[in-house]
Structure 1
């Protein structure tokens, strides 16, 4: 697939445009939307949207135009390793497992966002908004550069602060994920955490070439993590014991020997289920299929590999103990396991990591699962605008 065009992609408003921007070692693909009427004498305030996995900038298609109509310039990049973003001056290619992980560490991906902002001619961002893995980049953007990012909205993935010094061993030891892996393997039947599977050499190929085909696999993946799948009976876990984690769906705590396509295959939606899956049509799903067919999954999975090896977080230890001081909001679907997949993270985010997250700015939206900005875009836009208005980020 060539560059996105407004007349060729389903569900993409004609007001959203596409281009590549050369930034550092990348040509970054972005989608942009602007207010209908722009005062040429000044730039409209900027909102930056950071997608998660397995998503791309296109995942923000339903909220970009409404935010732009409220007076914002709205920019959504394909993050490093995703979509049409590629090495500078090079065609897109599939990244190999053996390649260097350093570019995918959190601090470097924050640098990608900062470079994007300045390349657009801005020295301030009204809000950086991240969903899923994008929230893991948006949060340190606000933590490290409060002078640049005036507020932050996190979706689905809570932020618990930078790693503590004691969490970053200087010598190779068992990481929390490795310890959990050992504990889950002791269950009957044995299980494993999905991030450890995503960190294996086989995961990218498993997902790119599933037995049922990529379209069916991605349809199932989006379906089972949405409010449409009735198996998402979300509740906070009692504790961090292996038995508690075993209550999570297979897309988080997998059968030990199974692949992600294999563990989800029994839950593939029927034709009737798909007919009710109105927030993601087959034509829209085909966009994801085309993009991942071209780029593969390894670049996207490299971010997960950086989470499971503490060496790639060592450069964040300088921020140990630092809190997000700018206004912060959290949004997730009420049928999303994301906020509750690890006990205590929501409380730590609200009580410690984000200094000024108000009670009304922790929002769980009914009728939405993990893909909240796609499943319930109107509700998401309404809450974002309320948050920005309350914090003086929208001109009266």
Structure 2
């Protein structure tokens, strides 16, 4: 029997798998196929369930919502080689997924690593992405530059170096039923954002064979030279949302990311941390719907 996340599904949500090149992505859908597509990309160390508070509001607003497990996460294909997690590969997965589900053009939301990938998709596939909302996630080139230029951002990003340690970081993060990973999430979020009950689905995903190594491969692939993104400013409309209490990403990094856009506002949530989509779910859902207003017309 194929493993699934049926117990996590709510009314109107559908589960499926999509072959995308050499990868089989596990996907949760909601809303009518044929409506404007809204692709939602989770970050580390979550999976599609990260968007549980936004899926239904977006579907009710008239979107075809598509929330995949990124490659290596939860039920999607999990290559064990780091080279399978280059940013250009991750971006291509998303474009191919949208095409496989019947839409060459789509809206995009991303959080954390999902936002990093979203920057690449917006830069490299401007004709496919109609608009992107990127939450708590930097442009990858700005991220690398700021780590070298800003001591404060270097301190905030210390974990990137820790994640480079082969087998040791997996051993430490996975010990005692992922105690350190759970603690890191709780320390960086508002109280009860990651309660024991809310963490259970995440622990189930982390415990899959090889899962931690695949999740860390996203960071380890950064050691390889970045494939240069288009040098011109990003033409895709981009909006960035950032929490003023984000422990991982400084405001300067988010502003440096937006500098790569022809136009794009930065929305700052004063009392928000890195986990805005979980802490202020209604606000984020409303913000996403306000991209183009409720009840959008299907794309012809």
What is the aligned partner in structure 1 of residue 205 from structure 2? 291
**Superposed displacement of residue 218, structure 1:** 4.0
Q: Is the 8 A contact 1:162 1:316 kept in 2?
A: no
TM-score with structure 1 setting the length? 0.67
- Find the aligned partners of 2:239 and 2:261 in 1 and give their Cα distance: 9
What is the DSSP-based 3-state SS (H/G/I as helix, E as strand, rest coil) of the residue aligned with 1:353? coil
Q: Is the 8 A contact 1:124 1:149 kept in 2?
A: yes
Most deviating of 192-201 and 140-149: 192-201
Q: Which has the larger radius of gyration?
A: 1
Q: 1:193 to 1:217 in 2, by over 3 A?
A: closer
What is the aligned partner in structure 2 of residue 282 from structure 1? 196
TM-score with structure 2 setting the length? 0.87
What is the aligned partner in structure 2 of residue 32 from structure 1? 29
Whether 1:304 and 2:219 are equivalent positions in the alignment is: yes
Residue by residue, what CA displacement relative to the aligned partner does 1:26-71 show, whole Å, maximum 9, x if unpaired? 111011111xxx5xxx810000011110110111111011011000
Any residues of structure 2 matched to 1:168-247 within 5 Å, and which?
193-201=158-166, 202-208=168-174, 210=175, 212-214=176-178, 216-228=179-191
Q: 2:96 aligns with which of 115, 119, 129?
A: 115
Q: Is the 8 A contact 1:160 1:348 kept in 2?
A: no
Number of equivalences: 292
What is the aligned partner in structure 1 of residue 282 from structure 2? 378
- Find the aligned partners of 2:296 and 2:51 in 1 and give their Cα distance: 21
What is the aligned partner in structure 2 of residue 153 from structure 1? 133
Q: 1:20 to 1:287 in 2, by over 3 A?
A: same
Q: Is the 8 A contact 1:130 1:155 kept in 2?
A: yes
| Unmatched segments (≥5 aa) in structure 2 | none
| Unmatched segments (≥5 aa) in structure 1 | 88-94, 168-175, 185-190, 229-276
Residue by residue, what CA displacement relative to the aligned partner does 1:169-220 show, whole Å, maximum 9, x if unpaired? xxxxxxx66x98xx98xxxxxx982101101111122212x2x432x43432
Q: 1:354 aligns with which of 239, 252, 261?
A: 261
- Find the aligned partners of 1:375 and 1:107 in 2 and give their Cα distance: 31
What is the DSSP-based 3-state SS (H/G/I as helix, E as strand, rest coil) of the residue aligned with 2:215? helix
Q: Is the 8 A contact 2:110 2:118 kept in 1?
A: yes
- Find the aligned partners of 1:61 and 1:163 in 2 and give their Cα distance: 28
Residue by residue, what CA displacement relative to the aligned partner does 1:273-296 show, whole Å, maximum 9, x if unpaired? xxxx1x444333111101110143
- Find the aligned partners of 2:189 and 2:143 in 1 and give their Cα distance: 30
Q: 1:19 to 1:28 in 2, by over 3 A?
A: same
**Superposed displacement of residue 393, structure 1:** 9.7
- Find the aligned partners of 1:163 and 1:64 in 2 and give their Cα distance: 29
**Superposed displacement of residue 2, structure 1:** 2.1
Q: 1:49 aligns with which of 26, 35, 40?
A: 40
- Find the aligned partners of 2:245 and 2:91 in 1 and give their Cα distance: 29
- Find the aligned partners of 1:332 and 1:17 in 2 and give their Cα distance: 30
- Find the aligned partners of 1:80 and 1:196 in 2 and give their Cα distance: 22
Q: 1:394 to 1:161 in 2, by over 3 A?
A: farther
- Find the aligned partners of 1:335 and 1:21 in 2 and give their Cα distance: 37
Alpha-carbon RMSD: 2.9
**Superposed displacement of residue 163, structure 1:** 9.5
Q: Is the 8 A contact 2:245 2:274 kept in 1?
A: yes
Residue by residue, what CA displacement relative to the aligned partner does 1:52-97 show, whole Å, maximum 9, x if unpaired? 101101111110110110000111111111111015xxxxxxx65x
